[in-house]
Amino acid sequence: MERHLNISTILLILLFVLVAQVFAVSDAQFSVINNGLSSWQLVSYTPPDANVGSTVTANPTLNMVIGKRYEITNPNFSFHPFELIAKAGTVPSDTVLLSQRVGTDPNFFESDPNVGWVDTGTAVVAFTLTQALANAMTNPGLGQVPGYRCGIHTNTMRGNINIKAAPVCGDSQHQRPLGDLDQNCYVNFVDFAIFAQNWLDCTDPQLPCGFLPWPP
């Protein structure tokens, strides 16, 4: 018997493919779980060098890098929705920026295409930590610092986020390799062309070069 897929099945398949593609581009993935109602625990993260945080500390400080895309798995999201916040000294002064809590849309960051917030109502959400989002997480005037919390147990399940600058070519962790003549962190034919154009040039004031001019 010949069978045909109905339109709802096709749309469901396309949705799964789209979600899979969105999550697949994440730079780092990590999982969190609740310790009762008292705290969060970071269960695991990948890749290993992402250094997201301590897996043995309650409400650990999470390390995040501007420009990186994160995928968070939170299996108990219905009772403990994960929220990204500008964290204040008291809960009422927190500012919620991204929320896994059903029925909330705290502000425009969830619709910001650069942040690319993905929440399909499952245990997994994803977002990109843009510079604008990072800036919104810090407000010295209100005593706010980057943080996260449970959208329901806001007093106990809360922690800080350590935001690091985006890595760039030439910083201490990404130094330019020897031979990178155009200073773009690649050694390639462009560098070879620069080398060739300057072949046998010299600036030695001594013979046989005898480079001039003389000093004034």
pLDDT of residue 206: 87
pLDDT of residue 105: 58
Token digits for 114?
């650069």
The pLDDT of residue 159 is above 90: yes
Q: What domains lie within the chain, and their CATH numbers?
A: 7-164 (2.60.40), 169-216 (no CATH)
Residue 38: CB atoms within 10 Å: 12
Give mean pLDDT, residues 46-71: 96
Higher per-residue pLDDT: 5 or 102: 102
CB 119 within 8 A of CB 54: no
CB 97 within 8 A of CB 109: yes
Helix (H) / strand (E) containing 36:
none
CB 115 within 8 A of CB 127: yes
pLDDT of residue 8: 54
Question: pLDDT over 70 for what percent of the chain?
Answer: 86
User: 81-96 pLDDT, tens per residue?
Assistant: 999 999 999 999 999 9
The pLDDT of residue 42 is above 90: yes
pLDDT of residue 114: 95
CB 5 within 8 A of CB 106: no
Q: How far is CA 201 from CA 8, 76, 80, 93, 140, in A?
A: 71, 68, 67, 65, 55
Higher per-residue pLDDT: 34 or 101: 34
User: 161-173 pLDDT, tens per residue?
Assistant: 999 988 888 888 8
Give mean pLDDT, residues 49-76: 96
pLDDT of residue 21: 43
pLDDT of residue 23: 47
Written as one letter, the residue type at 177 is: P
Token digits for 50?
């992402």
pLDDT of residue 71: 97
CB 164 within 8 A of CB 92: no
pLDDT of residue 104: 59
The pLDDT of residue 16 is above 70: no
User: 105-141 pLDDT, tens per residue?
Assistant: 556 899 999 999 999 889 999 999 999 999 999 999 9
Give the global pTM: 0.74
